[in-house]
Amino acid sequence: MAISDRIILHNMRFRGYHGTLPAERELGQRFEVDVELQLDLSRAMASDALEDTADYSRAYAVVQEEVEKRQYRLLETLAGSIARRLLAELPIMAVVVRVRKPQVPLPGMLAYSAVEIERRTEQ
């Protein structure tokens, strides 16, 4: 039976210095991130104990560090780095990471550009 339990952190907002243009890397801008952590939550439901689940304060800290303390040219690289760290540092089976860039330097109007990736642990 496939497990579809998830912990979701939606619309985290940080200031980062990511992009292909020099001005983006110098001036910075807002980035929005969602993560969905997939894991079996049955043990945590029974025990009501933090050690039986994925600590989402740790997940938040990982995302914050990747967005605010590192610098990437591509959203793809940022999302991939977040996914790799979450899989390595938390007891999860899979993760979905969405990174949105609301202030896209394009000659037209749009709400945001985004990247979504899904990765699983190797079994």
pLDDT tens-digit profile, the chain (123 residues): 567 899 999 999 999 999 999 999 999 999 999 999 999 999 999 999 999 999 999 999 999 999 999 999 999 999 999 999 999 999 999 999 999 999 888 888 889 999 999 999 975
* Boundaries of every domain in the chain: 6-120
- CATH tag for 6-120 (out of 1.10.10.10, 3.40.30.10, 3.90.25.10, 3.30.1130.10): 3.30.1130.10
pTM (2 d.p.) = 0.93
CA distance 9 to 7: 7
CA distance 78 to 57: 19
Catalytic residue among 67, 101, 110, 111: 101
Q: Which residues pair with 15 in a beta bridge?
A: 30
Active site annotation includes 69: no
